[in-house]
Amino acid sequence: MGGLTIAGLCLFSLPDLAASRAAAAAHPAPAAPAAPPDALVAQLDTVVQQSIAAAHVAETHELAIGSLSRGLADADAQLAAKQKALDDARTRAAALLAALERFVHTPRVAALLAPQSPVDRLRSGMLMAAAVPALGTEAHALIAEMQHLSTLRSETLAKQDNLTRDRQDLATARQRVDQLDAKREELRRQILHEYADSDPRALKQGTAAVDLSDLIQRSDGEAELRDRERRARAARAKNEPAVDPTRPKSLRSFDKNAGLTVPAAGSVVLHFGQTNEIGAASQGMTLSALGNGVAVAPFDGQVDYVGPFRGYGTILIIDHGGGYHSVLAGLGRVDAKIGEWVVAGEPVGTLPDPAKPDDSVTLYFELRQDGRPVDPQLSLADQAGSAKDHRVSE
């Protein structure tokens, strides 16, 4: 915070402190500058870019862990199947060897006097003669299977080692994201001369709204009211900028062909328009991603609403301009605050805790135009590199 520490305060005696207060009253501190220092704004821009890069590193490890976890599960199943097949082959080979051994060690006289017809004895001899080459082939196959099994086990151990390293790297990356998030919040507080916190008045909209479209409309109204109040304070005090200085200078305007960033590192398990678990057409996309994964802003904009809303759980709404809003639902933690500006790829929170380590969780993502859900077309910014028009759901 840049203020005095507790140790520093202990250096003052009570008379000294009283004298300091009297001096401060006689010579009040100069008024706050009309605009925040450019250095702080530049530092905030740098930290935002660092946050985007750190989130990308974390997402890379999350994808790797998800892939490795699935690969290890498949490898374990394959190893179990191979081991069972090898055990069955060994059992068959052992039975055949035992029969051959009995045949070889049976005295010829005893074999001739055995209660078998000449045809049965001839048939047994032919079967044994045919079994010897087959046994050799089976033995070679067993050796090959054992070598293959050994290779699979070595590959599995290597994947486990890679998974351990990726988990360690992910923990470091997530810690970096958290540190940068704290730095961003502190810089915004210093620039705006206020603590960045959720607007309790805006949070009430979540209770009053009847549906998402209504919540978006109410949240937009609250955002316009906050903007008017800022301009009014700036006109009265003349020491507060009328325009939010934390607003990125490179903020992009959204249109129907804008490229979106996938809000979480995962795969789409339910597409826009597909039938969901309640039998209705999905109005957004459901992503499956690693638990506790980083959630990022899909596009530039201003945070309109953060909080619980009906059956959606904790949701985040970002106003992208041009009548477009994105909705992230089912978040475990939201770090962005109402009224903050974000850019595409900037971390805004995390996904929920998984039931077990490396388990997947889901994140629901909607894009709305003038309150109506449209297809987010997640192939755009991060995958195809070319934009397509959004299909509107009436």
Could you tell me the CATH number of the domain that includes residue 191? Answer: 1.10.287
What is the spatial distance between Cα 315 and Cα 309, in angstroms, rounded to a whole number? 7
Residue 85 falls within a domain, yes or no?
yes
Last residue within a domain, chosen from 196, 230, 256: 196
State whether 205 and 185 are in the same domain: no
My answer on whether 164 and 309 are in the same domain is: no
Is it the case that residue 362 has pLDDT exceeding 70?
A: yes
- Domain boundary (174, 196, 218) is at 196
How confident is the model over 203-258, as pLDDT tens digits? 778 888 889 999 999 999 988 888 888 888 777 776 666 678 899 988 998 876 77
Q: Are residues 177 and 259 in the same domain?
A: no
- In this model, does residue 391 exceed pLDDT 50? no
Do 208 and 192 lie in a common domain? no
Same domain, 259 and 356: yes
Q: What is the pLDDT of residue 204?
A: 78
Q: How many residues does the structure list for the chain?
A: 394
Contacts of 314 (CB under 8 A, 6+ apart): 306, 307, 308, 329, 330, 331, 332, 334
Specify the pLDDT at position 372: 92
SS3 call for 80: helix
Whether the per-residue pLDDT at 17 is higher than 50: the answer is no
Least confident residue range of 20-34, 72-86, 324-338: 20-34
Q: How far is CA 343 from CA 260, 322, 331, 370, in A?
A: 11, 16, 18, 21
Residues 182 and 313 in one domain: no
Residue 258 lies in a domain: yes
DSSP reduced 3-state for 325: strand
The type of residue at 135 is L
Cα radius of gyration (the chain): 34
Tell me the average pLDDT across 175-181: 95
Which residues span the domain enclosing 245? 200-384
- For the cut 90, the answer to whether the pLDDT of residue 295 exceeds it is yes
What percentage of the chain exceeds 70 in pLDDT?
62
310-322 tens-digit pLDDT: 888 899 999 999 8
Final residue of a domain: which of 196, 223, 249?
A: 196
Contact 89, 145 (CB under 8 A): yes
The CATH number for 270's domain is: 2.70.70.10
The total domain count for the chain is 2
Highest mean pLDDT among 134-148, 170-184, 376-390: 170-184
